[in-house]
Amino acid sequence: MKKFILSILSLSIVSIAGEHAILQKNAEVHHWSYEGENGPENWAKLNPEYFWCNLKNQSPVDISDNYKVHAKLEKLHINYNKAVNPEIVNNGHTIQVNVLEDFKLNIKGKEYHLKQFHFHAPSEHTVNGKYYPLEMHLVHKDKDGNIAVIGVFFKEGKANPELDKVFKNALKEEGSKVFDGSININALLPPVKNYYTYSGSLTTPPCTEGVLWIVLKQPITASKQQIELFKSIMKHNNNRPTQPINSRYILESN
């Protein structure tokens, strides 16, 4: 009887250990990254919810002259100001700033609300194959959950004081902190807001489609030191490769 009980306990321990190993393996499978076997080319395989990543209207794209159409587009109506005491998050994939205020973007008859902005280096979108060293995405949602993202390119040049507030206060490892101060989001936008627009997706899993993309044509500047600081925190490039344009076109404002 004693041997039988010990045998049952031994089998239970092995079973629990095996189940733990399976759970660990599943957790690893669902973890996505920008490199290696869990990189962009395999995102759709990591989780059934990531099926979008293999569909036809994905982002980012190359904003090529071959697919651009000049159009009389409405001006951007943006209602931003200073984000006070925002949360700055290093989530291992980017540095993200969560905004508490109700900043609005009005376009195509809809009102979107800014939720957060984050950064990619090098840029995710390209223009005729050209990468910029840094790109910012301002992510908005409307009352129905529809997403609109404004993309802003940074070229190397004069330092941007608002970037310092973000990058110098971001944790070097994963985690978040509340910034004791304000960040002027308007100072992270170019003065001229002509733009490209197209229908795409989120550029990270689950790669959900139906995203309204608005990529500002005019870049602004960040210093080499600011760009290098961001890259040193990320420890790797965090841009998804450009995706096929397929049957889409890109509208360009004059």
Q: Which of 20, 93, 140, 236 is catalytic?
A: 93
Task: List the structure tokens of 82.
Answer: 């200073």
Question: Is 77 annotated in some ligand binding site?
Answer: no
Q: Count Cα atoms within 13 angstroms, Cβ side, for 86.
A: 28
Question: Is 124 annotated in some ligand binding site?
Answer: yes
Which 8-state DSSP code applies to residue 38?
G
Active site residue 20: no
Question: Is 31 annotated in some ligand binding site?
Answer: no
The string of DSSP codes covering 130-189 is BPPSEEEEEEEE-TT--EEEEEEEEEESS--HHHHHHHTTS-SSSEEEE-SSEEEGGGGS
Q: How far apart are CA 143 and CA 155, in angstroms?
A: 34
Question: Is 118 annotated in some ligand binding site?
Answer: yes
> Residue 144: which region, alpha, beta or left (left: phi > 0; alpha: psi -120 to 50)?
alpha
Q: Are 219 and 154 in contact (CB under 8 A)?
A: yes
Task: Please state the separation of Cα 146 from the chain's center in Å.
Answer: 16
Closest CA to 215 of 198, 240, 202, 238: 198
Q: Count Cα atoms within 13 angstroms, Cβ side, for 221.
A: 9
Q: Are 118 and 185 in contact (CB under 8 A)?
A: no
Binding annotation: 118, 120, 124, 137
Show which residues are catalytic.
Answer: 93
Binding annotation for Zn(2+): 118, 120, 124, 137
